[in-house]
Structure 1
Amino acid sequence: MTPRAIALTALLLAGSAGLAPVHAADDHIVLASTTSTEQSGLFGHLLPAFAEATGIRVRVVAVGTGQAFEIARRGDADGLLVHDGEGERRFVEAGYATERADVMYNDFVIIGPAEDPTGIAEAESVAEALRRIAEAEAPFASRGDDSGTHRAEQRLWEAAGVKPGGGWWYRELGSGMGPTLNTAAAMDAYVMSDRATWAAFRNRQSLALLFEGDEALFNQYGSILIDPERHPHLKHDLAERWHQWLLSEQGQQAIAEFTVNGEPLFFPNARPD
């Protein structure tokens, strides 16, 4: 027998012996998602559970939400999991997707030097907290990368009536959440983070969580199915299985069970009424 025939026979015998099925090499999808879901450790928790349930592997491209949209527009990802509701609606309305569903949520928080020189911990709203930072020209590290977090931050500055760009104190870094937190720690600067990445962040130095709880800091994540007519080459059947698993009781429970130091970081589905 040739080496190829021997190998094929071995695989067939393994299957007949009741061993775990051998999945085809293309039983995977590419998911464009955010750095917050990656750097918080969520995918390290979810993806093995999904693979065990379905045999489908997920390869994550973790970038800012704006970049994730662009990757999907080009047809370079089979699915999307992002957190910019306005951008997600535009993506669907432009014909790039057939479905979008709320999957989970958490919130943003404002981090800063533990001594809190601007007193944002006493602010009554996130708008007031941001105005205090701007009026004091206290160092603020912004992701500046068109991510979902950066987009939310920009909307909050606008709602506060502040245009932060142009001042020496406001640093747009063009980096993911983890590197931005590292820079903020080195600068002793204020920074807005998603709660999950902050909870998993270890290099805190003198940084502390100073402001939280405003409804304006709500952070919804959505799963999006890409239109098969626009990009027929994608693995739409496998991507839909991922999408439906996230929404299933099993997937929602897996999301709820993910914790860091006993703290749940993402909550299933949509914000309760």
Structure 2
Amino acid sequence: MARRRLEDDGRLRSVPRADDPGEKRPRGGTDAGALVRRRHGAAALTAAAVLVAVPCRPLSPLAAQSSAVILATTTSTRDAGLLDSILPDFERASGYTVKVIAVGSGQALAMGKRGDADVVLSHAPEAERVLVDSGYFVRRRIVMHNEFLIVGPAADPAGLRGMSDPVAAMRRIAEGHGPFVSRGDQSGTHLREQLLWKRAGFSTPPRDGWYIESGQGMGATLQLADEKRGYTLTDRATYLAWRDKLHVVPMVEGDTSLYNVYHVLELNPKNASRINVAGGRALADFLVAPETQRRIGEFGKGRFSQSLFVPDAGKEPSP
């Protein structure tokens, strides 16, 4: 029986067992590599500047670094606007500054594995479990959920409208040669799409010309699907946040296989000595705190007459 391992590029790969014969610019525009490279250098420069400005005031060795918390998170939480809504409250109350790196969940988890983030917010349950079981994360808590849906052009050339089974819908898209736009980035959305293709009878996603990989976040992928008059898999929150700019409409939704759950994961300091453990834990605690959960449950109601995320703190993590 093969185990699953998350590589540094964010991809899940099978490995044999020993006994066998991932407009307004929202938060999160920071380049991941540049931020990580600057992390310790920036702390040193800040410390030097403070020492020059206030020569008589001692500065703790990691003061500049410990005041910042690096959050590696899926692009959907950024593109939907949730982070812009809740993080300022955390910063005001805690004194920390949150540096958001919005990437696919596979990449976010890989950053956590390497110690290039202080805390991770992800929606890729299988990949999360692999890293928790491997000891890279010490705590995994459920934060919220929404759902995936398949959207497409109003003309609906594949004839999906009215279908309730996403697997049958993916098969019909393939039979009609799409177009279909994939994230192609090992994000939680991309991993769910791959699972649907597998259940539809494709061991790997189709590689014909009608299958397009954007390699980008959810908002950009929705825009590309709109331009191509094609279909895509999206989370509901990002779709609603971008709906006024798009012509694609929901085609398939509501099936239990489209359930989309988000967890916050705290890193194991034994595997990443340079992380801000206290800051990461503080942000994780904030995300599951009652007042934050209330804010999450209310987010989107004023604009869309429905919540974009359903708060879930206190429930058992997704298997």
Does the TM-score normalized on the shorter chain lie above 0.5? yes
Query: For residue 196 of structure 2, what is the amino acid of its counterpart?
Result: L
2:103, 2:230 → 1: CA distance?
23
Higher RCO (CA 8 Å, separation ≥ 6 residues): 1
TM-score by length of 2: 0.75
Q: Which residue of 2 aligns with 1:156?
A: 196
Q: Secondary structure of 1:124's partner?
A: coil
1:79, 1:38 → 2: CA distance?
15
Query: For residue 165 of structure 1, what is the amino acid of its counterpart?
Result: P
Query: For residue 263 of structure 1, what is the amino acid of its counterpart?
Result: Q
Query: For residue 48 of structure 1, what is the amino acid of its counterpart?
Result: P
Please list the CA deviations of residues 172-210 of structure 1 after superposition, one character each: whole Å capped at 9, or x if unmatched.
221111111111111000011011111111564431111
Query: For residue 311 of structure 2, what is the amino acid of its counterpart?
Result: P
Question: Do the aligned residues in 2 keep the contact of 1:185 with 1:203 (CA within 8 Å)?
Answer: no
1:130, 1:144 → 2: CA distance?
16
Query: For residue 273 of structure 2, what is the amino acid of its counterpart?
Result: P
Question: Do the aligned residues in 1 keep the contact of 2:164 with 2:252 (CA within 8 Å)?
Answer: no
Cα-Cα RMSD = 2.3
Does residue 225 (structure 1) correspond to residue 229 (structure 2)? The answer is no
Moved more, 219-228 or 161-170: 161-170
* Alignment partner of 2:277 out of 236, 244, 268: 236
Judged with a 3 Å threshold, the aligned counterparts in structure 2 of structure 1 residues 25 and 202 are, in CA distance, closer, same or farther, namely farther
Question: Do the aligned residues in 2 keep the contact of 1:130 with 1:157 (CA within 8 Å)?
Answer: yes
Question: Do the aligned residues in 2 keep the contact of 1:110 with 1:192 (CA within 8 Å)?
Answer: yes
* Alignment partner of 2:219 out of 156, 173, 178: 178
Please list the CA deviations of residues 207-257 of structure 1 after superposition, one character each: whole Å capped at 9, or x if unmatched.
111111011000000000000111122110111111111111122112112
Q: 1:53: how far off? A: 2.5
Does residue 263 (structure 1) correspond to residue 271 (structure 2)? The answer is no
Please list the CA deviations of residues 154-183 of structure 1 after superposition, one character each: whole Å capped at 9, or x if unmatched.
001111223432211111221111111111
Q: Which runs of 5+ in 1 are unaligned?
A: 12-23
Aligned length: 257
Please list the CA deviations of residues 82-137 of structure 1 after superposition, one character each: whole Å capped at 9, or x if unmatched.
00000000011111110101111000011100121222122231111111111111
1:205, 1:213 → 2: CA distance?
21
Q: Which runs of 5+ in 2 are unaligned?
A: 1-49, 58-62
* Alignment partner of 2:124 out of 74, 77, 84: 84
Q: Secondary structure of 2:164's partner?
A: coil
1:134, 1:270 → 2: CA distance?
38
* Alignment partner of 1:102 out of 125, 136, 142: 142
Moved more, 204-213 or 175-184: 204-213
Does residue 144 (structure 1) correspond to residue 184 (structure 2)? The answer is yes
Q: 1:25: how far off? A: 4.3
Q: Which residue of 2 aligns with 1:14?
A: none
2:165, 2:145 → 1: CA distance?
20
Please list the CA deviations of residues 130-154 of structure 1 after superposition, one character each: whole Å capped at 9, or x if unmatched.
1111111120000101111000110
**Aligned 1:1-273 pairs, distance under 5 A:** 25-26=64-65, 27-162=67-202, 163-202=204-243, 204-259=245-300, 260-269=303-312
Percent identity between the two aligned chains: 41
